[in-house]
Amino acid sequence: MSTKGLNDFVWYDLQTPDPKAAIGFYSKLFGWTPQGEPDSGHVGWNNGENHFGGIGTPQAGVPAHWLGYVETDALEGTVERAKKMGAKVFAGPMSIGEGGDIAVVADPQGAAIGLYQGGKGHEGWEPRKTEPGDVGWAELGTSDIDGARAFYGECFGWKTGQSMQMPDGVYHMVMKGETSIAGLYTKPADMPVSAWTFYINVNDVDETVAKAKALGGKLLVGPQTVPDMVTFAILTDPQGATFGIAKSLGG
């Protein structure tokens, strides 16, 4: 069994009340192509040959959002560890057929996260993260840094590495072994709940922001530049789902 995607984000679902409108927005913004038809109940996202996510409709009363899934090799055990650490189970564990099994939980601070265990032939799923249009980064804004460290460390073995002083507080790198896979920071007062944000790689942040606004998106943060590292912005799509865009400035 391949373990290349184990304990890392491997899938991203957009839960939206209007799949057709969302397909139009993201296809025009990033050049993504849908796989399947909205009326079929199953639509996937492709960025070129990179198959990285899907589209679904949330339950009544649940706002539009992006949900990232972390791969585990023992889904039921991970769910049990999450529950013991104070997580709430929203869905599952449940089968998605030959693709494997999934669950959705909220961490102790309330941030939703998906869990995935691949079925036979689907183990070690690892979507590309490096090209324009790929989901290249994840960030958790949380009300409890120490609590988040403990929870994700217990569930996935993640640790925090380098920390940087930013204008709004300390930013911690989240490590899977020696590889940085996400960021962790204390959520600002105007961020209503603890939540994950997923960033799509772009060639030009300013240009993408302008295009998103023309398509009905709204700018929440930025564009901002962290010298020698990244230029980024955070937006919402026309249905209200939050996402980030980023251009790496590193070598």
Per-residue pLDDT band at 228 (split at 50, 70, 90): confident
The superfamily in CATH containing domain 135-248 is 2,3-Dihydroxybiphenyl 1,2-Dioxygenase, domain 1 (3.10.180.10)
Per-residue pLDDT band at 208 (split at 50, 70, 90): very high
CATH code reported for the domain at 9-118: 3.10.180.10
- Sequence spans of domains, the chain: 9-118, 135-248
Identical fold for domains 9-118 and 135-248, yes or no, is: yes
Q: Is the pLDDT of residue 2 over 50?
A: no
Per-residue pLDDT band at 222 (split at 50, 70, 90): confident
What angle do the packed helices 19-30 and 205-214 form, to 10 degrees?
A: 150
Q: Is the pLDDT of residue 1 over 50?
A: no
Torsion region of 134: left, alpha or beta (phi above 0 gives left; psi -120 to 50 gives alpha): beta
pTM, 2 dp: 0.93
Q: Is the pLDDT of residue 69 over 90?
A: yes
What is the rounded average pLDDT of the residues 44-62? 89
Alpha helices in the chain (DSSP H): 19-30, 75-84, 145-156, 205-214
- The burial class, CB within 10 Å (0-12 / 13-18 / 19+), for 29 is buried
